[in-house]
Amino acid sequence: MFSLSIDQVKGGMTLAQPVYNLNGTKLLEKGNVLDERLIIRLKNSGAKRIWVTDDDNSFLKGLVPHKIFEETVKELETVQHLILEGKSFDIYIVNELAQELVEQIIFNEMPFAEMVRMKLTEKTVLEHMVDVALLSIMTAKALGMDKLDMRFVGLASLVHDVGKFLISDEILSKPTKLNEYEMRQVRKHPQIGFDILKNIDGMNKYALQVALQHHERLDGSGYPRGIKGKHISNYSLIVSIADIYTAIIREKLYRPRLPIYQAGELLWAQAGKQLNRDLTSMFLRHVVSFPLRSTVKLNNGAVGKVVYQNSQFPTRPIISIDGELIDLSESNTLFATEVLAYEYD
């Protein structure tokens, strides 16, 4: 269910809530399937925003974000083919892709965030890299980075997993848990990626750092080098959070996806230990957790709207239910389990 401006509504969508005019007269009942005639009627009646359902996500697929996502994946396929052939690729093309993502996210971030949030699977490493790039750029924006730094983050995240191109598909697509040998092979991909990128003319130094360090952890428990703390670049810390998040909210052959609230709790549990606490908090509050004005369902079945976000407990916002404010950070048993609806500006 989506709250859309009347100009965004398309034929074939179904009304999720009745529509009333300013005088309180019901214009259309819930359940009506909209066509151009009904949309024009609503516009002429003064309707500005309505609630609709779009079960097959055709609305999202028709948005610019979905098209840009597909085009970015397609461009990266060329990069993948060249690497597999042992050839160089043009980093400036990837830089232009990063620039486009930055401009689009600055202009209208929410549809990109929801596109990433609503996907159930990532079919390829390329899709994963673009998902990570989108979330990393959103984090950079939330941190107040300028366009240049946002572009550096985008570029680095778009190529952070190129090392996986040279890892066997048999291992990457294995439907069961990897054995010790297979895990060792996978853990080579940061070094492989670094070795590929260092030979590319004009390669940005931040992209090299992120390719090598995106699996390193603050406490030294990461790989491939087990470095810790200040030795891990800020860009790598940003990308690592987005990388973990996208991995755990996607369904795998060997495990189900984690719901958003559980994924957020898992990230927050690592904050200050393996992940940077401030960056994780920013990521959860501005990129992942329940957006302001979103309608959420609680584990007790109640439905409310997010009115404030909690900086100390970013996965537990303050909810309004029938005018009553409920701070989820003050309860050990009550939490939001899913987003029922988003408002699009």
The answer to whether the beta carbons of residues 237 and 211 sit under 8 Å apart is no
pLDDT value of position 345: 47
Q: Angle at which helices 234-248 and 260-270 pack, to 10 degrees?
A: 140
Taking only the tens place, the pLDDT of each residue in 44-82 is 887 777 877 765 555 555 556 778 899 899 999 999 999
pLDDT value of position 63: 54
Query: Of 23 and 156, which is predicted with more confidence?
Result: 156
Same fold, 2-55 and 59-288: no
Q: What is the pTM of this model?
A: 0.77
Taking only the tens place, the pLDDT of each residue in 225-236 is 999 999 999 999
Mean of pLDDT over the chain:
87
Pick one of 1.10.3210.10, 3.40.50.11540, 1.20.1440.230, 1.10.520.10 as the CATH number of 59-288: 1.10.3210.10
What does the pLDDT average to over 256-278? 88
C-alpha to C-alpha distance for 83 and 77, rounded to whole angstroms: 10
What does the pLDDT average to over 165-185? 91
pLDDT value of position 53: 73
C-alpha to C-alpha distance for 224 and 149, rounded to whole angstroms: 26
Three-state secondary structure string covering 47-108: CCEEEEECCCCHHHHHCHHHHHHHHHHHHHHHHHHHHHCCCCCCHHHHHHHHHHHHHHHHHC
C-alpha to C-alpha distance for 252 and 313, rounded to whole angstroms: 28
pLDDT value of position 23: 60
Q: Coil, strand or helix: which one is 245?
A: helix
C-alpha to C-alpha distance for 138 and 331, rounded to whole angstroms: 29
Sign of torsion, CA 258 261 265 268?
A: positive
C-alpha to C-alpha distance for 300 and 302, rounded to whole angstroms: 6
Q: Does residue 341 surpass a pLDDT of 80?
A: no
Taking only the tens place, the pLDDT of each residue in 202-242 is 999 999 999 999 999 999 999 999 999 999 999 999 999 99
Extents of the domains making up the chain: 2-55, 59-288, 295-343
What does the pLDDT average to over 333-344? 74
Q: Identify which of 66, 197, 91 has the alpha carbon closest to the alpha carbon of residue 151.
A: 91
pLDDT value of position 285: 80
Query: Of 329 and 184, which is predicted with more confidence?
Result: 184
No. of helices (H) and no. of strands (E), the chain: 14, 10
Taking only the tens place, the pLDDT of each residue in 1-53 is 566 778 878 888 888 878 876 566 788 888 888 899 999 988 888 777 787 77
Q: What is the CATH number of domain 2-55?
A: 3.90.105.10
Taking only the tens place, the pLDDT of each residue in 280-325 is 988 988 776 677 777 888 989 899 998 987 777 777 889 999 889 9
